[in-house]
Protein backbone atom coordinates (compact mmCIF):
# COMPACT_ATOMS: atom_id res chain seq x y z
CA UNK A 1 0.00 0.00 0.00
CA UNK A 2 1.51 3.30 -1.08
CA UNK A 3 1.03 6.22 1.27
CA UNK A 4 0.46 9.60 -0.35
CA UNK A 5 -0.50 13.01 0.96
CA UNK A 6 -4.30 13.41 0.65
CA UNK A 7 -3.86 17.13 -0.16
CA UNK A 8 -1.08 17.24 -2.77
CA UNK A 9 -0.40 13.59 -3.70
CA UNK A 10 3.24 13.66 -2.55
CA UNK A 11 4.61 10.14 -1.94
CA UNK A 12 8.28 10.77 -1.14
CA UNK A 13 8.60 13.76 1.20
CA UNK A 14 6.56 12.25 4.04
CA UNK A 15 7.59 11.95 7.68
CA UNK A 16 5.82 9.83 10.28
CA UNK A 17 5.91 9.60 14.06
CA UNK A 18 4.40 6.60 15.86
CA UNK A 19 2.12 7.55 18.75
CA UNK A 20 0.74 4.42 20.48
CA UNK A 21 -1.61 2.70 17.98
CA UNK A 22 -1.46 5.32 15.24
CA UNK A 23 1.05 7.16 13.08
CA UNK A 24 1.06 10.94 12.75
CA UNK A 25 2.15 11.89 9.22
CA UNK A 26 3.50 15.17 7.89
CA UNK A 27 3.85 16.04 4.21
CA UNK A 28 7.04 18.05 3.93
CA UNK A 29 5.98 19.30 0.49
CA UNK A 30 2.75 21.07 1.50
CA UNK A 31 2.71 20.91 5.32
CA UNK A 32 -0.49 18.87 5.60
CA UNK A 33 -0.74 16.56 8.64
CA UNK A 34 -2.97 13.52 9.13
CA UNK A 35 -3.30 10.38 11.25
CA UNK A 36 -2.89 6.87 9.86
CA UNK A 37 -3.97 3.67 11.60
CA UNK A 38 -1.23 1.12 10.77
CA UNK A 39 -3.56 -1.90 11.21
CA UNK A 40 -4.48 -3.16 7.73
CA UNK A 41 -8.14 -3.39 6.75
CA UNK A 42 -9.87 -4.67 3.62
CA UNK A 43 -10.54 -1.98 1.01
CA UNK A 44 -13.55 -3.94 -0.30
CA UNK A 45 -15.48 -5.02 2.82
CA UNK A 46 -13.81 -2.90 5.52
CA UNK A 47 -13.05 -6.02 7.59
CA UNK A 48 -9.97 -6.30 9.75
CA UNK A 49 -9.42 -10.09 9.54
CA UNK A 50 -6.33 -9.75 7.38
CA UNK A 51 -3.46 -12.20 6.85
CA UNK A 52 0.09 -11.21 5.89
CA UNK A 53 1.29 -13.29 2.93
CA UNK A 54 4.62 -13.18 1.02
CA UNK A 55 4.08 -12.34 -2.67
CA UNK A 56 6.83 -13.42 -5.08
CA UNK A 57 8.67 -10.81 -7.12
CA UNK A 58 9.55 -12.34 -10.49
CA UNK A 59 12.20 -11.36 -12.99
CA UNK A 60 13.06 -12.77 -16.38
CA UNK A 61 16.21 -14.83 -16.10
CA UNK A 62 17.67 -16.51 -19.17
CA UNK A 63 15.53 -17.27 -22.18
CA UNK A 64 11.99 -17.92 -20.99
CA UNK A 65 12.99 -18.75 -17.41
CA UNK A 66 11.41 -16.70 -14.64
CA UNK A 67 13.12 -16.44 -11.28
CA UNK A 68 11.82 -15.41 -7.88
CA UNK A 69 14.18 -12.57 -6.94
CA UNK A 70 12.45 -11.56 -3.73
CA UNK A 71 9.17 -11.25 -1.90
CA UNK A 72 7.05 -8.45 -0.54
CA UNK A 73 4.38 -8.73 2.12
CA UNK A 74 0.77 -8.15 1.14
CA UNK A 75 -2.30 -8.32 3.35
CA UNK A 76 -5.23 -10.45 2.18
CA UNK A 77 -8.75 -10.39 3.59
CA UNK A 78 -9.92 -13.71 5.02
CA UNK A 79 -13.37 -13.14 3.48
CA UNK A 80 -12.79 -11.34 0.17
CA UNK A 81 -9.53 -13.13 -0.71
CA UNK A 82 -10.47 -16.60 0.57
CA UNK A 83 -9.65 -18.35 -2.74
CA UNK A 84 -6.22 -16.66 -2.98
CA UNK A 85 -5.45 -17.51 0.64
CA UNK A 86 -6.43 -21.14 0.01
CA UNK A 87 -4.07 -21.21 -3.01
CA UNK A 88 -1.26 -19.81 -0.83
CA UNK A 89 -1.87 -22.24 2.06
CA UNK A 90 -2.02 -25.23 -0.33
CA UNK A 91 1.44 -24.33 -1.68
CA UNK A 92 3.24 -23.34 1.55
CA UNK A 93 6.06 -22.63 2.35
CA UNK A 94 6.42 -21.12 -1.15
CA UNK A 95 5.42 -17.48 -1.65
CA UNK A 96 2.19 -16.63 -3.42
CA UNK A 97 2.75 -16.18 -7.14
CA UNK A 98 1.44 -12.96 -8.71
CA UNK A 99 -1.76 -13.07 -10.78
CA UNK A 100 0.05 -11.53 -13.77
CA UNK A 101 3.12 -13.55 -14.73
CA UNK A 102 5.50 -11.42 -16.87
CA UNK A 103 5.67 -13.82 -19.83
CA UNK A 104 4.40 -11.49 -22.54
CA UNK A 105 6.85 -11.30 -25.42
CA UNK A 106 8.83 -14.39 -24.41
CA UNK A 107 7.81 -16.47 -27.45
- CA nearest 86: which of 75, 78, 97? 78
Is the peptide bond between 93 and the residue preceding it cis, with omega within 30 degrees of 0?
Answer: yes
pLDDT above 70 as % of the chain: 93
Give residue 96's Cα distance to chain centre: 13
Q: Which pTM does this prediction carry?
A: 0.62
- CA nearest 22: which of 39, 47, 5? 39
What's the mean pLDDT when you consider all of the chain?
A: 87
* Residues 81, 32: Cα–Cα separation, whole Å: 34
The more confidently predicted of residues 25 and 65 is: 25
Determine which helix (DSSP H) or strand (DSSP E) holds 73, and give its type and residue range: strand 66-77
pLDDT digits (tens, 9 = 90+) for 85-99: 999 999 988 999 988
Amino acid sequence: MEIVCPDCGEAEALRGTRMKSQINLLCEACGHTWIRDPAPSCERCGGDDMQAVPLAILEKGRGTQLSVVGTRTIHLCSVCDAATLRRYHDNRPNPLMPDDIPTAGLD
